[in-house]
Amino acid sequence: MFDTAFHATLPAAAATYALDADLATRFDIRRYGAHGTSYRYVSRRAAALLGRPVEDLNMIVLHLGNGASACAVAGGRSVETSMGLTPLEGLVMGTRGGDLDPSIAFHLAREAGLTVAEIEDSYTHRSGLTGLCGDNDMRVVQRRAAAGDQAAVLALDVYCHRIRKYVGAYHAVLGRLDAIVFTAGVGEHSAVVRARSLTGLDAFGIALDPDRNAAGDATRIVSPDHARVSVCVVPTDEEHAIAREIADLLLA
């Protein structure tokens, strides 16, 4: 099962780039997404945690690791995701910057004299948290920010601002939001990132309980009781998900 398969359900409006249609068709340019195996597993685990069928839930799943993406999941189906043709689009990551003005590449070619290969290398290996502060480990970035390192402070601000922006956008896409789910290395372990990414969203029924948020790394609900939107932490297990899918295919 390809890691993009979960996103095969994207509606055309979400999967299609506003490019020359003939060019896009000839070269298969569209939004493919990634982390699909994780999203399939985590969305079902979150539904079990909430005691509701996944088919009844609208959720935003945030897969935050060295690679990071967001997915709007409606009734167990992907309807929007942040990574696109490649894993470069979307959220800020360890070494990838996520969303950029496409003209930055043209500017770098004309003004800095960079080749296509050099621009691609910069976008892939020397952007994101690394580009902003020189570290791609969120634990190090947080420690530096807490000590007053301004480059790390900015890196953390940019990282969390981008997540918050996607949460708002995907809430609009879904219409009704039942849950936000954090997963993968940063999503599971960083109470700071979870709190800062959801700051200021109380008007949407999105809030964290500080004690629950800080209480370890286990699968749990970290929003207050009776919150309109449940906020969950659900560790991903992509190997288990792949094994289950293989078993289902063999038994079919």
pLDDT value, residue 249: 55
pLDDT tens for 161-211 read: 999 999 999 999 999 999 999 999 999 999 999 999 999 999 999 999 999
Q: Residue ranges of the domains in the chain?
A: 5-90+160-251
What's the confidence (pLDDT) of residue 250? 58
- Which pair of structure tokens corresponds to residue 146? 């807490």
Residue 237's pLDDT band, with cuts at 50, 70 and 90, is confident
CATH class of segment(s) 5-90+160-251: alpha beta
* pLDDT at site 246: 55
Burial of 92 (0-12, 13-18, 19+ CB in 10 A): buried
Cβ neighbour number for residue 143 with a 10 Å cutoff: 13
Across residues 230-241, what is the average pLDDT?
83
Residue 53 corresponds to which tokens in the numbers above? 């069928």
What percent of the chain shows pLDDT beyond 70? 93
| Distance separating alpha carbons of residues 109 and 11, to the nearest angstrom | 35
Q: Pseudo-torsion of CA 54, 1, 244, 221, nearest 10°? A: -40
Q: What is the pLDDT of residue 247?
A: 54
Question: Over the stretch 39-79, which tens digit does the pLDDT of each residue have?
Answer: 999 999 999 999 999 999 999 999 999 999 999 999 999 99
Neighbours of 115 (CB within 10 A): 10
pLDDT (0 to 100) of residue 159: 98
Mean pLDDT over the full length of the chain: 94
Tokens of 168: 């708002």
DSSP β-ladder status, 58-64 and 179-183: parallel
For residues 237 and 7, the model is more confident at: 7
pLDDT at 240 over 90: no
Burial of 250 (0-12, 13-18, 19+ CB in 10 A): exposed
Segment 12-27 shows an average pLDDT of 98
**Residues designated as active site:** 3
Residue type present at position 202 = D
Task: Give the model confidence (pLDDT) of 114-139 as tens digits.
Answer: 999 999 999 999 999 999 999 999 99
Look at residue 251 in the predicted model and tell me its pLDDT.
62
Residue 217 has pLDDT above 90, yes or no: no
Q: At a CB cut-off of 8 Å and minimum separation 6, what does 43 contact?
A: 54, 57, 59, 61, 73, 76, 181
246: tokens are: 């293989």
Question: Does residue 21 register a pLDDT over 70?
Answer: yes
Closest CA to 201 of 175, 234, 227, 221: 227
Separation CA 43–CA 77 (nearest Å): 9
Q: 3-class DSSP state for residue 116?
A: helix
Look at residue 248 and tell me whether its pLDDT is greater than 90. Answer: no
Q: CA 108 to CA 118: how far, in whole Å?
A: 10
Q: What is the distance between the alpha carbons of residues 31 and 11, in angstroms, rounded to a whole number?
A: 10
Q: How many CA atoms lie within 13 A of 239 on its CB side?
A: 0
Q: What confidence category does residue 113 fall into, taking pLDDT thresholds of 50, 70 and 90?
A: very high
CB 97 within 8 A of CB 131: yes
Reported confidence tier of residue 252, pLDDT bands at 50, 70, 90:
low
Q: What is the pLDDT of residue 108?
A: 98
- Among 69, 65, 66, CA closest to 78: 69
**Residue linked to tokens 């964290």:** 208
